[in-house]
Amino acid sequence: MKNKVIYLSIFLAVGLTATIIHARPFSKWRNCAPHDGCGISMIHHLKALDLSKEQKGKIAIILKGVRSEATSLVDDLAESHTAVANEIHSDSFSETAIRAASTNHAAIKEDLTVLIAHVLADIKETLTPDQEIELNSLLSEFGETMDTKKDFARLRINKWIERHDTSDN
């Protein structure tokens, strides 16, 4: 029973977060969003742009310039995510502790998101107009993917309620 409660709480936390919070959507590639710290999807999209050797070199310099800060923020983000999860699953409920851990996590995610936005702006300066249009098209797929994930999460939550709700409401 305890495992079912844990799995349900994880499902609800993930599902409701995706449903309620309008965070930057996830990439179709490996379910990873650049602002969540992986950066893999950004690299995947850059590979699709047929960049020249000169453009690749300029982008490498941009990425090298933020690598240390990004690595630190990603590590902090992972640690803060774990702290939030630990508070959610704590044996004793403390709204204050959950809010404090969530606030810290949000601040780190904000810093990482701003860093990624700066990097993306710098990278766009190296692109041709056609490449920038293509990149924007690839990035717009994020929104479509997130809409699908939100709809799926809502559907699963609603089905659970329909199957298991014993209240009169």
Whether the predicted pLDDT of 137 surpasses 70? yes
Give me the phi and psi of 168, to 5 degrees please: -85, -10
pLDDT exceeds cutoff 70 at 40: no
CA nearest to 37, candidates 89, 99, 105, 85: 105
**pLDDT for 149:** 78
Residue 24 in this model has a pLDDT that exceeds 60: no
pLDDT at 79: 95
Q: Phi and psi of 165, rounded to 5°?
A: -75, 120
User: What are the pLDDT digits (tens) for 68-113?
Assistant: 999 999 999 999 999 999 999 999 999 999 999 999 999 999 999 9
Which string of DSSP letters, residue by residue, matches 71-109? HHHHHHHHHHHHHHHHHHT-SS--HHHHHHHHHHHHHHH
The conformation of residue 92, written as its DSSP 8-state character, comes to S
If we measure between CA atoms, which residue out of 1, 27, 45 comes closest to residue 146? 27
Higher pLDDT, 163 or 14: 163
7: pLDDT strictly greater than 60: no
- How long, in residues, is the chain? 169
Residue 144 has pLDDT above 80, yes or no: no
Sign of the Cα torsion 15, 21, 27, 31 reads negative
* 25 vs 45: CA distance, rounded Å: 15
